[in-house]
């Protein structure tokens, strides 16, 4: 088995780490059954691809899907090494029996693998999933009755809805007020922030005692964005509802008290967070282990409200927590008793949303109307069409001015778009003298940088961020907008690739390198979650990458006025409907697509990401 795993690693069907895991475990407790070795390596590989577990059914039905196999014609000479060949004739019962008699799965605290409900897990992921399940089911069951005062306040904050259109923002508040756990999901501009601000106002008005509310987001960028949008939403409230709603948003790592080089956080079940209400925005980016850590650190009386777009790409790390929790959100699935609680707050007919949903469905609301994108917006229409898997979405590019399909299948087609997109911020980089001080200048440069972003699906190759970052730097240098002959240069945009706790910078944070004429030094300026600026010498930064081109994965939680997305001309397992939808919805005013092959676009729209989990 060891040799087979090594052959898979040599051909890049498996990561070296995946083949190493059974070897390491075997050194601690010997496992004679090669089938268990195989399952362990495949499980580790699936974990690396974001799955929380392996469904044994999938293993029997389509074992080849558990490896990173190239297209069939590229490995036909190795057919005998495919998992489907190796596992031919092995039944589900054989697998279950092999696992049941393995020391690696013995029911104890330190068993590295766990089999539960025909799903094979790494112990850590199993534990995290159990915590998320238990914590959420406890919280959704705690019901709170609405007082007359709260009901009055609801009618003050929301106008009575018309019969033909349900005000889901109002109903989201009504539902969330009655539980200790609520999910408010919806696409861009559907009013998640507006709704949660009203919800917080209602919570603050409903109690005479002081309540501590905290706002958090998975990344610094998402935290900055929420700070801005929440301040705007508070300003839209009647003045007597505005008091005490917080605007400070922290990252989840900071909230939980991340410690350098440690997996554990300062806050946990023994040292819970000191708060009564926690709002987490961009919850689609929160992975399974982080969600478990967060729920464990939440005091039992506290309310948790998750906001996010369930249709976006799942978290970079394993799990698709929000997507899993929102299964059924589209149809509502509300029980008659839930509809009875909602009925006094709406004149519209709620019967289409009736169903036999779970308790969790009763705590989940999907906002359905975008207030940012109307029927005239190509971005809104395109996002909607892609999201429902409409392969004729490509025709929309002919009908709207705010979406643009670049002709041709050459990277060169990007040049004018990218040069025009980055010109504005790079010109500001040269104009320090126009600003009163360095802070003002840096603030203007950082704001200008959000005007445009090139997004890619891939990391490597000419069509990935690696090739494109180099290419774009050369185009911009040819235009006289920068001089990239040195590694560090004025205007270089960089992204952190890892958390750096000593500098207080997180994976995904973007900084711009600026030459400060007053000091004669190059420094990189970042905007922190609290909107303040942090200046860092380039020599103190490691694990960074130039970010003229950014992967769609890394762009989650950010928005740009104009986004240009590049899809490669060849198929890749990474292309999916969720990736395209996430790329499109990063654009606020203009979206441009370069896709060298219309067949690839159709395939991308039709392919959904599905992550195995037991949630
Ligand atoms: N019911 C409403 N009527 C009119 N305008 C609304 C309504 N709800 C929200 N808006 C406006 O729509 C815009 C987007 O709202 P909001 O920021 O709350 O949405 P969101 O779902 O949080 O957006 P995103 O997550 O994409 O940033 C804001 O300008 C807001 O004022």
For residue 12, how many other CB atoms are within 10 A of its CB? 12
| Torsions phi, psi for 299 (to 5 deg) | -60, 150
Gap between the Cα atoms of 212 and 246, Å rounded = 9
Tens-digit pLDDT profile for residues 345-360: 998 899 999 999 999 9
CA of residue 551 relative to chain centroid, distance: 12
DSSP strand pairing (544-546 vs 493-496): antiparallel
**Model pTM?**
0.90
Cα–Cα distances (Å) from 245 to 197, 203, 235, 277, in that order, read 8, 10, 11, 11
70 has a pLDDT exceeding 80: no
pLDDT band for position 114 (cuts 50, 70, 90): very high
Relative to the CA of 236, which ligand 1 atom is closest? Answer: 31
* Structural domain boundaries in the chain: 1-123, 147-367, 378-486+545-606
* Ligand 1 pocket: which of 219, 223, 372, 557 to mutate (most atoms within 8 A of CB): 372
* Ligand 1 pocket: which of 160, 193, 305 to mutate (most atoms within 8 A of CB): 193
Of 82-96, 157-171, 426-440, which gets the smallest average pLDDT? 157-171
Tens-digit pLDDT profile for residues 116-136: 999 999 999 999 999 999 999
Percent of the chain with pLDDT over 70: 98
Which CATH number applies to 1-123? 1.10.10.1020
Give the residue from 218, 326, 224 showing the smallest Cα distance to 279.
218
Give the residue from 201, 190, 204, 196 showing the smallest Cα distance to 157.
201
477 has a pLDDT exceeding 80: yes
Residue of 88 and 269 predicted with greater confidence: 269
Of 39-48, 76-85, 402-411, 560-569, which gets the smallest average pLDDT? 76-85
Gap between the Cα atoms of 176 and 197, Å rounded = 12
Distance 373 CA to ligand 1 centre (A): 10
Q: What does the pLDDT read at residue 558?
A: 86
Q: What is the ipTM of this complex?
A: 0.98
For residue 261, how many other CB atoms are within 10 A of its CB? 5
- Residues 97-110: what's their mean pLDDT? 84
Q: From the annotation, which residues make up the binding site for ATP?
A: 186-193
Gap between the Cα atoms of 497 and 550, Å rounded = 12
Q: What does the pLDDT read at residue 374?
A: 76
Which of the listed ranges 1-5, 161-165, 374-378, 450-454 does the model predict with the highest average pLDDT?
450-454
Gap between the Cα atoms of 25 and 27, Å rounded = 5
Distance 190 CA to ligand 1 centre (A): 5
- Which listed CATH number (3.30.930.10, 3.40.50.300, 3.40.50.970, 3.40.630.30) goes with 147-367? 3.40.50.300
What SS3 class is residue 346?
coil
Q: So what's the architecture of 378-486+545-606 in CATH? A: 3-Layer(aba) Sandwich (3.40)
pLDDT band for position 73 (cuts 50, 70, 90): low
Relative to the CA of 195, which ligand 1 atom is closest? Answer: 18
pLDDT band for position 108 (cuts 50, 70, 90): low
Gap between the Cα atoms of 313 and 427, Å rounded = 34
Q: What does the pLDDT read at residue 384?
A: 92
Q: What does the pLDDT read at residue 609?
A: 80
Helix (H), strand (E) at residue 85: helix 83-86
Tens-digit pLDDT profile for residues 235-244: 999 888 888 8
Tens-digit pLDDT profile for residues 423-437: 999 999 999 889 888
DSSP letter at 570?
S
pLDDT band for position 570 (cuts 50, 70, 90): confident
> Please, where are the H alpha helices in 107-219?
123-141, 148-157, 168-177, 192-206
- Residues 444-455: what's their mean pLDDT? 95
Across the chain, mean pLDDT equals: 90
Tens-digit pLDDT profile for residues 244-270: 899 999 999 999 998 877 778 999 999
Which of the listed ranges 27-36, 155-164, 487-496 does the model predict with the highest average pLDDT?
487-496
Contacts of 469 (CB under 8 A, 6+ apart): 545, 546, 547, 548, 549
615 has a pLDDT exceeding 90: no
Contact criterion met (CB below 8 Å) for 561 and 586: no
Give the residue from 46, 1, 17 showing the smallest Cα distance to 9.
17
Q: What does the pLDDT read at residue 71?
A: 64
> Please, where are the H alpha helices in 262-320?
288-297
Residue whose token pair is 């790494």: 122
Three-state SS sequence of 372-420: CCCCCCHHHHHHHHHHCCCHHHHHHHHCCCCEEECCCCCHHHHHHHHHH
Task: Provide Rg for the chain, Cα atoms.
Answer: 25
107 has a pLDDT exceeding 70: no
- Ligand 1 binding site (Cβ under 6 Å of any ligand atom): 169, 186, 188-194, 229, 233, 236, 371-372
What SS3 class is residue 90?
coil
72 has a pLDDT exceeding 70: no
* Ligand 1 pocket: which of 159, 189, 230, 384 to mutate (most atoms within 8 A of CB): 189
Gap between the Cα atoms of 326 and 404, Å rounded = 32
- Residues 279-298: what's their mean pLDDT? 96
Judge whether 147-367 and 378-486+545-606 match in fold: yes
Tens-digit pLDDT profile for residues 437-446: 889 999 999 9
pLDDT band for position 109 (cuts 50, 70, 90): low
Relative to the CA of 186, which ligand 1 atom is closest? Answer: 21
CA of residue 108 relative to chain centroid, distance: 33
- Residues 2-25: what's their mean pLDDT? 90
For residue 211, how many other CB atoms are within 10 A of its CB? 15
For 236, counting Cβ atoms within 10 Å of its Cβ (0-12 exposed, 13-18 middle, 19+ buried), the class is exposed
Of 24-28, 62-66, 255-259, 471-475, which gets the smallest average pLDDT? 62-66
- Residues 331-343: what's their mean pLDDT? 94
Contacts of 611 (CB under 8 A, 6+ apart): 50, 51, 52, 314, 318, 319, 320, 323
Contact criterion met (CB below 8 Å) for 342 and 175: yes
213 has a pLDDT exceeding 90: yes
Residue whose token pair is 């495919």: 82
Give the residue from 580, 52, 46, 571 showing the smallest Cα distance to 311.
580
Distance 162 CA to ligand 1 centre (A): 19
Helix then strand count (H, E) for the chain reads: 22, 19
Q: What does the pLDDT read at residue 162?
A: 63
Q: From the annotation, which residues make up the binding site?
A: 186-193
**382-385 own/partner pairs: CB under 8 Å, 24+ apart:** 382/584, 382/591, 383/187, 383/188, 383/581, 383/584, 383/585, 384/187
Residue of 87 and 71 predicted with greater confidence: 87
SS3 breakdown of the chain: % helix, strand, coil, rounded to 5? 45, 15, 40
- Residues 318-335: what's their mean pLDDT? 92
> Please, where are the H alpha helices in 397-541?
415-429, 438-449, 465-478
Tens-digit pLDDT profile for residues 528-559: 877 789 999 999 999 999 999 999 999 988 88
208 has a pLDDT exceeding 80: no
| Torsions phi, psi for 68 (to 5 deg) | -90, 75
Q: What does the pLDDT read at residue 564?
A: 97
Relative to the CA of 233, which ligand 1 atom is closest? Answer: 31
Distance 335 CA to ligand 1 centre (A): 28
């Amino acid at each position: 088995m060891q040799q087979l795993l090594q052959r898979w690693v040599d051909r890049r069907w498996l990561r070296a780490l995946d083949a190493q895991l059974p070897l390491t475990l075997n050194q601690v407790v010997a496992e004679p059954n090669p089938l268990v070795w195989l399952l362990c390596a495949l499980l580790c590989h699936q974990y690396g691809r974001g799955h929380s577990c392996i469904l044994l059914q999938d293993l029997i039905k389509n074992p080849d899907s558990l490896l990173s196999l190239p297209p069939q014609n590229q490995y036909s000479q190795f057919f005998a090494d495919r998992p489907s060949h190796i596992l031919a004739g092995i039944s589900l019962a054989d697998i279950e029996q092999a696992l049941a008699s393995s020391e690696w799965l013995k029911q104890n605290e330190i068993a590295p693998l766990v089999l539960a409900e025909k799903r094979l897990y790494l112990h850590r992921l199993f534990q995290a999933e159990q915590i998320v399940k238990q914590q959420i089911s406890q919280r959704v069951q705690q019901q709170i009755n609405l007082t007359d005062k709260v009901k009055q306040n609801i009618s003050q904050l929301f106008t009575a809805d018309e019969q033909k259109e349900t005000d889901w923002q109002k109903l989201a508040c009504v539902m969330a007020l009655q539980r200790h756990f609520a999910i408010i999901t919806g696409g861009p501009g559907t009013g998640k922030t507006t709704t949660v601000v009203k919800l917080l106002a209602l919570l603050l008005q409903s109690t005479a005692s002081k309540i501590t509310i905290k706002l958090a987001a998975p990344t610094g960028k998402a935290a900055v964005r929420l700070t801005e949008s929440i301040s705007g939403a508070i300003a839209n409230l009647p003045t007597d509802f505005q008091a005490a709603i917080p605007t400070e948003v922290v990252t989840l790592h900071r909230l939980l008290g991340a410690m350098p080089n440690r997996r554990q956080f300062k806050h946990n079940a023994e040292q819970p967070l000191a708060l009564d209400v926690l709002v987490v925005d961009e919850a689609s980016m929160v992975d399974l282990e982080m969600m478990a850590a967060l729920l464990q650190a939440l005091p039992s009386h506290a309310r948790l409200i998750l906001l996010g777009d369930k249709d976006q790409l799942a978290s970079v790390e394993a799990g698709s927590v929000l997507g899993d929790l929102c299964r059924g959100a589209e149809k509502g699935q509300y029980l008659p008793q839930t509809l009875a609680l909602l009925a006094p707050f709406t004149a519209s007919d709620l019967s289409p949303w009736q169903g036999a949903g779970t308790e969790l469905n009763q705590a989940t609301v999907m906002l359905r109307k975008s207030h940012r994108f109307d029927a005239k917006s190509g971005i809104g229409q395109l996002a909607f069409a892609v999201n429902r898997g409409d392969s004729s979405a490509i025709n929309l590019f002919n009908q709207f001015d705010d979406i643009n399909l670049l002709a041709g299948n050459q990277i060169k087609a990007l040049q004018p778009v990218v040069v025009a997109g980055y010109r504005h911020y790079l010109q500001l980089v040269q104009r320090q003298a126009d600003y009163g001080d360095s802070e003002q200048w840096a603030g203007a440069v950082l704001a200008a940088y959000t005007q445009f972003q090139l997004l890619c699906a891939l990391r490597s190759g000419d069509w990935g961020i690696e090739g494109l970052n180099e290419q774009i730097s050369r185009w911009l240098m040819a235009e006289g907008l920068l001089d990239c002959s040195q590694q560090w240069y004025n205007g270089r945009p960089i992204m952190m690739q890892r958390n750096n706790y000593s500098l207080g910078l997180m994976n995904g944070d973007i900084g711009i390198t600026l030459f400060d004429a007053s000091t004669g030094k190059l420094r990189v300026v970042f905007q922190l979650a609290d909107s303040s600026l942090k200046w860092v010498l380039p020599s103190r930064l490691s694990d960074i990458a130039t970010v003229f081109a950014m992967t769609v994965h890394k762009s989650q939680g950010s928005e740009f006025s104009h986004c240009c997305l590049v899809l490669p001309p060849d198929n890749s397992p990474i292309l999916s409907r969720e990736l395209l939808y996430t790329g499109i919805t990063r654009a606020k005013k203009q979206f441009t697509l370069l896709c060298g092959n219309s067949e690839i676009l159709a395939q991308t729209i039709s392919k959904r990401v599905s992550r195995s989990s037991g949630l």
